[in-house]
Chain A
Amino acid sequence: MSRAVARHDEEQVDYGETILSVEGLTKHFSQGSGLLSSIFPKPKVKAVDDVSFDIKKGETLGLVGESGCGKSTLARTVLRLLEPTDGAVYFKGENLAELSGEAVRNHRKDMQMIFQDPQSSLDPRMKVGPIVEEPMKAHGLYEGEREERARELLEKVGLDPHHYNRYPHQFSGGQRQRVNLARALAVNPDFIVCDEPTSALDASIQAQVLNTMRDLQREFGLTYLFISHDLSVIRHISDRVAVMYLGQLVELAETDELFENPQHPYTDALLQSIPVPDPRAEGRRGVLEGDVPSPIDPPSGCRFRTRCPKLIVPAEYDLTDAEWANVRRFVRAVDRRTFEASTGRAIRAEFFADAEPRGDAAAVVDESIEAILEDDWDRAAALLTESFAENSVCAEEKPAYHVEPEYGRGEHFAACHLHRTKRAD
């Protein structure tokens, strides 16, 4: 991207050109404060770790992921509401970290945010008119025409301009989210981060708000970073989609490509778990097992590897696909203790009926079954993890690859070693 130093307030970015560029952005939280925690520092929460992406002017980049994966933290760090631990954010070609106070203020005006909960983000003691005018005041803009502009904006977002003097509690949830929209638009921004803007709304109301957001985007040439955990909403609103897992991006592609041709096992699992509003649709297959690991000590290499159904077999074992699939299933079951120790034969019948590993792998499996029969599950789990999970390329290197798209021509990034042959530079 071009990093020409432009003059503040006048820099113009054309449609389709990069307006925001995030490079290696990282945010670690140190937990607790006070004397004790400075003597015994608590481990850091790695909420966002080395995330990079670009957003083009006029587009909507969807950001999707499970609760706690770091979406809101990423959004706040991009806007510098949180100080990044590492990495950089370029807005219209300028590194936000290197700007002086005045310039930062100027950029703040161009970057606005809408929060998840329309209730708590509006001051209950203020009328909605003044709420919308607040950012204009803060930036010293539109002196003398603020009320007129506020009324116009209320109308633009689909509210009655006569409601200028109403209080937030006099509005429904959907209407309050419209007030938030009007406020975000008050100082004529280019870029709006929307953090779950419709998650608290009912289906019929959500559709109204989403349509309004689209109309406003077209009218004002807005760029959105749109965060949601709802894949249907993401599919509807986004031009491109980024999927986040445990603080990192695992996949990024154009919307159709991502939904029709997912190239990361996590994206695939997410897509398979959505209940489709069609009773004739094919049932879901292979839902993901287990929970997301702690962001304090995330797994090495690929962070999804502890739950990945496609974990790559370590090079030192010579196993068929069926044998390796059974070994993986066994490792997970031992780790989660989902079965009872009975006899070695019963365990083998349960996990290795159709394909039993040979050679070195067989020795490891035998030893761990013995440990289980001695009721030493911890030893069995440790042995299996060391021998199999931690020897996989998935545990050794952080994956980052570019894949040839099937739909459209946009870049398709997939952080999965299954694409090893197409190494990214």
Chain B
Amino acid sequence: MSEPLLTVENLQTQFFTEEGVVRAVDGISFEVNEGEIVGLVGESGAGKSVATSSIMRLVENPGEVVGGTVRYRDEVLVGFEEGPDGERRRSPEMLSEAEMRTRIRGREIAIIFQDPMESLNPVFKVGDQLREFIEINREVSKAEAREIAVDMLREVGIPEPEERYDDYPHQFSGGMRQRVLIAMALACEPNLIIADEPTTALDVTVEGQILDLVRDLQAKYGTSFIWVTHDMGVVAEICDRVNVMYLGEIVEQAEVDDLFYDTKHPYTEALLRSIPRPDQTVEELNPIEGVMPEAINPPPGCRFHTRCPDAREVCRRAHPAYQDVTGDEPPHRVSCVKYEDVGYEDSDPLETAATGAFGGGLVEARGESDE
């Protein structure tokens, strides 16, 4: 297989808050290959948005990327090395902020944020914003940029693009605004687009239109995507490979078909069992008990042990290794002690929110072992 387009290794991002250190992204690794749509899925607060802004080096105070590597082709977007006193410092290969701005963001990697109003300026006309972006990034004349802008708007399915060019963002519907952002992301023909829940706030009919659009564009330009979502339906629909995040970590990574049909991690399995289906009648839903703990003080051992139906005593102590469990290519990686040789089989079951009588979704997990 050829070199991946983007490689993320052991990426760590923390927020230094008054209450303590929030380990929002805590050592995640994944790759994106050419022309691939890679999913990043997880419940709210899992760390998906922080992960994407870390890759783009857009994390804001009090947050900081504190470790790991992000490599895009031959460029090091994030890199650290050990200094003379053993301290961690930026590696000299890591691109400067100016290089990120002029060489990477927009041109090589574009990002579409969760809230379109965040990226569109309400006081400027939609068309002008797009035109200016193209003018700056593609070094074309104003007139040419306008022409490209109109074409892009038509391409992403904005009706009457010439007329709508002079509208302001609030005159567009949510779905149309999201299309403008896609147009903006595509404008510089980047190789990778990171889309952070771009359809979550939209109605299914509009979401369907956008997913179709992305698939068409992907086929046409061969663009790679990191698609962030919490919706397993969307994952099944458009992703080639999927990373499942829980509390700052990736707990499972597989080809989309394997993720659904050869599920390895208890969290992924529980998530799939908890969702109602549009295509079949499900009599009883099997919720995951409890709620995801705070990232400020994650549970020791396996972070899912407070809610895991399979949790045993050893899960509280041993932090599972993230490893390939099939030996096939591409790998199927999982982080669960069931797939390790650390004594899971002989360990006593743990009494957790998932097994306890109290199904109230309490924040505290009652983690005493059941002898």
Contact = CB atoms under 8 A, between A and B. Distances in A.
Interface of A: 66-67, 158-160, 172, 174-175, 178, 202-208, 210-211, 229, 231-233, 235-237, 255-256, 259, 269-281, 283-284, 287-291, 335-338
Contact of A281 (B157, B211, B279, B288): B279
Contact of A236 (B232, B272, B285): B285
Contacts of B278: 231-232, 235, 259, 271, 274, 276
Given A232-B276, A232-B278, A236-B282, A178 B360 contact: yes
A274 B271 CA distance: 18
Interface string B264-304: 00000011101111110110111111011000000000000
A287 B209 contact: yes
Given A204-B270, A204-B271, A207-B274, A338 B159 contact: yes
Interface string B122-163: 000000000000000000000000000000001001011111
B257 A276 contact: no
Given A202-B230, A204-B43, A256-B281, A279 B204 contact: no
B44 interface: yes
A158 B159 CA distance: 49
Contacts of B205: 66, 269-270, 273, 287-288
22 contacts: A66-B205, A67-B203, A158-B361, A202-B43, A203-B43, A207-B276, A208-B359, A231-B278, A232-B276, A232-B277, A236-B282, A273-B205, A274-B278, A277-B235, A281-B279, A284-B237, A287-B209, A288-B205, A288-B209, A291-B173, A336-B159, A337-B160
B207 A277 contact: no
Contacts of B287: 204-208, 211
Nearest to B159: A336
Nearest to B151: A340
B94 interface: no
B161 A279 contact: no
B111 to A, nearest CB: 22
B203 A204 contact: no
Contact of A175 (B212, B275, B360): B360
Nearest to B283: A236
Nearest to B232: A277
A324 B163 CA distance: 29
Interface residues of B, number: 59
Contacts of B282: 236
A203 B363 CA distance: 17
Interface string B171-193: 00111100000000000000000
A29 B259 CA distance: 49
Contacts of B237: 275-276, 279, 283-284
B321 interface: no
A279 B260 contact: yes
Contacts of A287: 205, 208-209, 212
Nearest to A174: B361
A290 B281 contact: no
Given A207-B286, A279-B261, A284-B237, 11 more contacts: A202-B230, A207-B274, A231-B204, A232-B277, A236-B277, A273-B207, A279-B257, A287-B205, A287-B209, A291-B175, A337-B161
B75 interface: no
B159 A278 contact: no
B356 interface: no
A174 B207 CA distance: 25
B195 to A, nearest CB: 15
A204 B288 contact: yes
B325 to A, nearest CB: 20
Interface in B226-284: 230-237, 256-257, 259-261, 270-272, 274-279, 281-282, 284
B160 A275 contact: no
A191 B170 CA distance: 38
A204 B274 contact: yes
A66 B233 contact: no
A208 B256 CA distance: 26
B21 interface: no
Interface in B312-371: 358-363
Contacts of B359: 158, 208
Nearest to A237: B276
Given A175-B360, A275-B234, A288-B205, A233 B43 contact: no
B203 A66 contact: yes
A284 B214 CA distance: 14
A136 B284 CA distance: 33
B208 A288 contact: yes
Closest 5 CB pairs of A and B: A275-B233, A273-B208, A207-B287, A336-B159, A236-B276
A208 B275 contact: no
B157 A338 contact: yes
Contacts of B159: 290, 335-338
A103 B60 CA distance: 57
Contacts of A283: 237
Contacts of A207: 274-276, 285-288
B281 A277 contact: no
Contacts of B289: 208
Contacts of B272: 277
Given A172-B363, A278-B260, A337-B159, A210 B173 contact: no
B236 A274 contact: no
B232 A229 contact: no
Given A159-B360, A175-B361, A273 B204 contact: yes
A39 B219 CA distance: 56
B362 A160 contact: yes
Nearest to A229: B203
Contact of A160 (B175, B204, B236, B360): B360
Given A204-B271, A211-B284, A235-B278, A277 B361 contact: no
Nearest to A198: B276
Contacts of A237: 276
Nearest to B272: A277
B277 A235 contact: yes
A254 to B, nearest CB: 11
B208 A277 contact: no
A319 B219 CA distance: 36
A205 B285 contact: no
A276 B279 contact: yes
A318 B151 CA distance: 37
A280 B281 CA distance: 18
Nearest to A337: B160
Contacts of A205: 287, 291, 361
* Residue of A205, A272, A274, A277 contacting most chain B CB atoms (<10 Å): A277
Given A277-B232, A291-B173, A338 B203 contact: no
A234 to B, nearest CB: 9
A54 to B, nearest CB: 23
Given A337-B159, A338-B159, A210 B360 contact: no
A275 B277 contact: no
Contacts of B160: 336-337
